[in-house]
Copies of this chain bind each other. A is one copy, B any other.
């Protein structure tokens, strides 16, 4: 890991645990084991650091998800894989999940960064539309369907993060997916 990565990783943890303002740049540098100057060499401002963190993480997640979705055969199968991958990713990266929870709606992330992040999830729209055309999914407005689908997954993740063992339990996992799927399916 080069110093830039060290800084980002340290920032992630501190931002989530202490909050944006309660985290001095000096503390980030110290936790990363680099100097103050080095931090500002890589990130012009503290805000650019958090924006970069947001954009980067969202991009990597979207790549993983697109890959995953492709592997599914049926529409339902694709959603199942997508749903599962998002949960697994969140269980594996709880800090990143909490980062999104905490900062997706914060004013520190600027509009442009947010919009670019949303774009990377455009493929979900495609998938939903496909499902609607095949009359597999409910014929509600696409944006509504997407908003609820995402939110349902977030709710599910919150549950599994509180009860980590539950996800391994096949019955519970099945029930959880069924809730998600019945919400969407025609």
Residues of A within 8 A of B (CB): 17-22, 98, 101-102, 105-108, 138-141, 143-145, 147-152, 154-156, 158-159, 162-163, 166, 172, 175-176, 178-180, 182-184
Contact partners of A21 in chain B: CB under 8 A: 19-22
- A20 to chain B: which residues have CB within 8 Å? 19, 21
Q: Which of B105, B144, B158, B178 contacts A98 (CB 8 A)?
A: B105
**Is there contact, CB below 8 Å, between A152 and B159?**
no
Question: With A106-B102, A143-B162, A166-B141 known to touch, is A179 a contact of B19 (CB < 8 Å)?
Answer: no
> Do B155 and A151 touch (CB < 8 A)?
yes
Complex CA gap A182/B5 in Å reads 44
Minimum C-beta distance from A163 to chain B (A): 7
In whole angstroms, what is the CA distance A158 to B104 when docked? 13
Q: Write 5 A-B pairs (CB below 8 A) sorted by A numbering.
A: A138-B178, A139-B175, A148-B180, A151-B156, A151-B158
